[in-house]
Amino acid sequence: MDKRIVLITGATSGIGLETARILHSNGYFIIATGRREEKLKALQTEFNNERIYTLCFDVRKRAEIRSNIDGLPEDWKKIDVLVNNAGNAHGMDLFQDGKWEDWEAMIDINIKGLVAVTEAVLPGMLNNKSGHIINVSSIAGQQAYPKGSLYCASKSAVSMITECLRIDLNQEGIKVSEIKPGMVETEFSLVRFKGDAERAKQVYKGVEPLTGKDVAEVIVYMIQAPKHVNIAEVLLMPLAQASATVFNRKS
């Protein structure tokens, strides 16, 4: 396989980490990004410092993104695949009880962060007339649920941005894909509930959820599809989930 470089945001845990692991084991070169430098260093150690380059930045800070990506060494500049995985849910309240800081965090990370990273990476893909952008969205982007207004809205925005990108880049030889996971057990609920581990645990009670690796394997399948094939959109759920709000929970 020729040298193929994949940049993954939010690569220090969950879906992003598992995607990095599988791709690295398949010979890909990984640019892992995240806010937690110690986690990035641990990943470098795990990969024996081979075929990995790390960038520590916050996707909410556009200037940091541009500086880091523009400053990549020459042999790491040709990014073949961008996996926009970084994203968070903050709080779970009725709209009338919502907190501005939670809303702002979801808009800044889930929407503006994705746009800023894509904006920084895309010129290289346009210059090469090739590339693949994969946006990690959510079932929440197409099905509303109680107490999820801003999270659902942010993921719906990701879906529409993805669709528009696919149209805008149709003549440029660049694939654009979206994966919409249902329930996945990662740090997601722990972050949403501000570190309340017991409350986070209740989300998955009686259900066998997807794992980060389950989602990562589908992302890898998207990347490895033949050149003429673009897997544009995937909705991925555990067997026990029928919709955003319907689950077969075992006691």
Q: Catalytic positions, please?
A: 151
- Give dist(CA 199, CA 91) in Å, integer: 12
- For residues 80 and 181, is the Cβ–Cβ distance under 8 A? no
End-to-end distance of the chain based on CA atoms, in angstroms?
48
H/E stretch holding 10 reads none
The answer to whether the beta carbons of residues 84 and 134 sit under 8 Å apart is yes
Count, residues in the chain:
251
The CB-side HSE value for 236 (13 A sphere, CA atoms) comes to 22
Element at 248 (helix H, strand E): none
Cα gap 76→248, rounded to integer Å: 46
At 16, the amino acid letter reads G
